Structure 1
């Protein structure tokens, strides 16, 4: 579809904002982007091949080319007014600026609208969203459906706006969206969900939700009038059933899986329940789930000498606890969170409760090992505390512990954990 408007503003250059800029440029739009913070990491922007001019304004500056104008430290309202569509950070949804755009119909989700006409499935929750999305994608594609998949930038996808733009250009049977629990109200407005699956409700993003009760209330709004799927024993099921158009309970998957853990049996159970409601034949569901392998960065298991090495992102206390209940680990490696995300340090509390022989901390999202060590000392952990400041350090410690039964490498920092996973996998394959 060729759009007669080709200029968009992106307000806020967080994860979703930068992904929106990349997607708009990829789809041929001219872009005006801004962030009031002048200290924004621009390394994620795909500006290769674009000739740029930098205009320095002291505490603020601009980057200008034929296809993009980027202002940091200030916002140019006149350039926003010239745009045909505006992409805001999902965190801005519900604020006065977003409400003004809603009243004027200028949000990108109201300007490009093909995505709202597609059959749409949302997967949300604290943990397991990405794995469940990929399980369901595999099932649906094996059933002959053409699936457009994406969503939450933190899940490794290209962001919500990329889905909207891609939907304008192709013919798909199903739109499959991973929905971050911090963006429920934004996604409720931006997409028209036919089905929604909830993986679980856990202790994460409490800096945003403040309480589990507030998180539950956001889900109640999100589920209102929709066909929803929740675990048979999910807290607040009575609240969810009350507002849903239709409610379906799901259970742990009972057949064989290659992926590890009871939590993945629940993820598979959710994927199976949705596929079953869509009348996908049972043999296709079973074969798809049997063939399914762990998504990059999510928990997978490798053999190094005598040890099983479990590697995957476990960036909140509930995610870590779900793994620690499955087996004994000699050593636990924990990637550190961002300095301001102190709630995520609760994964260290969980590790200390488990009391392994060794806890290793390494830079995950931020290089703030001192903060993690202080927490371990405060909790009076009596085992060995080690630090690993590089990938080579981590590999050396894995080798040292490789004659124990098992170790776990997790915590925060998807990119760091993927790099560790790739190196461990390579070593494991060479030792076979």
Structure 2
């Protein structure tokens, strides 16, 4: 382990937000930094590195990377690429951005991982803490790199981190004071290869925790509820009240046996968001938040953009943007949030998890299925195989066309739901762009209809 980087040669693989954040932090700590990025098109990143006085290469990972005392990898970089395999053979230590930033953290860390719900839950937790007067900083996979937060935030009581499985693959000493695993369902198997490897990566969040620390896990998740080897485990459970944790009894939320509020008062809707609320409430209470701040925040917190986001109502039809639904389970949860008929827009770049469960839910909840993107044909095929009427499936080539078709077929009282069950990278730069394109198309329709 290398905790002092002053004078050390550090190669950073990837000029993403995390890679650039690391470049700033390591430069400030006296390291000799070199950045290697496979893409040739990151103009803004190159300008930022030039201003920072950091040498870099774009378009390849050359042998220059190996002229280093340690290598830092951005989360999106697979760990089995040739340059990293060669680094391992040479014995060059490889760390991730979260691990390196942790070396310089001067406040407790509250970290959340899971397949679905991470961004909503960390944002909710951060809001509760801030409403209790605790100076928390929200960072990590949510878009503000931990390394940037370490460098830029001075007056900090704690860090609230969203942590992905990719980030957890490259930790060694990273230790959250309070952590949580929201759920574990098939995702990112194109990188992790199998569920065992994926689960192992998620469990790394507790790898260095001690008896005085705690981890919150979802009692409704069959892969998590029996983790008996973790002594500091607390449960959150939407279907009952655990002996140690947060749960529901008589329509009310309880945290460590203290009553918080009625479930009906929570602004976030859907069973999955109830689980998110329970987890955030439990963690916040352990971190020193007041019961009043927890209750007040749950009454007011409305969620995040691209996550079950209401966009517009047109002729009695509600349009919902769930572009962050980038895997099958996320879309299943979205579909279960509605009782009225749904026109579902789905498809994109799949994650090799199959669509059988999604197809069964489509038969149950969806009236019209609109598919697009690389895996649109696979979703269509799976739905037909489960008995969904072929005449109720429409294949389109763009998001704008999807919205037009949905508008033409929707009936009053129905929902048009964008919840793709896939990543966005076949047609868009990220899920945010996909969601914005959907919203622009819907709002354009609304203007023409008014």
TM-score by length of 1: 0.77
Seen in structure 2, the aligned counterparts of structure 1 residues 333 and 108 have a Cα distance that, compared at 3 Å, is: closer
Cα-to-partner distance string for 1:407-429 (whole Å, 9 max, x where unaligned) = 32111331202432355468669
Matched, 1:324 2:335: yes
Seen in structure 2, the aligned counterparts of structure 1 residues 41 and 358 have a Cα distance that, compared at 3 Å, is: farther
What's the offset of the Cα at 1:128? 0.6
Matched, 1:46 2:38: no
How far apart, CA to CA, are the structure 1 residues paired with 2:354 and 2:234? 32
Match of 1:395?
403
| CA RMSD, 1 decimal | 3.8
Q: For 1:1-400, what aligned pairs fall within 5 Å after superposition?
A: 8-11=10-13, 13=14, 18-24=16-22, 29=27, 31-34=33-36, 40=39, 42-43=41-42, 46-48=45-47, 67-77=54-64, 80-81=66-67, 86-90=71-75, 91-92=78-79, 115-152=104-141, 156-158=142-144, 162-171=145-154, 172-187=156-171, 189=172, 191-224=174-207, 225=210, 226-237=213-224, 239-248=226-235, 249-251=245-247, 253=253, 254-301=263-310, 302-312=312-322, 313-326=324-337, 327-338=339-350, 341-343=351-353, 345=355, 348-354=358-364, 356-363=366-373, 369-376=376-383, 381-382=388-389, 383-400=391-408
How far apart, CA to CA, are the structure 1 residues paired with 2:403 and 2:96? 47
How far apart, CA to CA, are the structure 2 residues paired with 1:143 and 1:284? 6
In structure 2, runs of 5+ residues without a counterpart are 236-244, 254-262, 425-430
CA contact under 8 A between 1:204 and 1:344: conserved in structure 2?
A: no
CA contact under 8 A between 1:126 and 1:200: conserved in structure 2?
A: yes
How far apart, CA to CA, are the structure 2 residues paired with 1:146 and 1:429? 42
* SS of structure 2 residue aligned to 1:399: helix
How far apart, CA to CA, are the structure 1 residues paired with 2:58 and 2:397? 35
How far apart, CA to CA, are the structure 1 residues paired with 2:293 and 2:219? 24
Seen in structure 2, the aligned counterparts of structure 1 residues 70 and 294 have a Cα distance that, compared at 3 Å, is: same
What's the offset of the Cα at 1:385? 1.7
What's the offset of the Cα at 1:346? 5.2
* SS of structure 2 residue aligned to 1:333: strand
What's the offset of the Cα at 1:184? 2.7
How far apart, CA to CA, are the structure 2 residues paired with 1:102 and 1:190? 19
What's the offset of the Cα at 1:194? 0.8
How far apart, CA to CA, are the structure 2 residues paired with 1:139 and 1:173? 14
Match of 1:58?
none
How far apart, CA to CA, are the structure 1 residues paired with 2:106 and 2:334? 39
How far apart, CA to CA, are the structure 1 residues paired with 2:98 and 2:277? 31
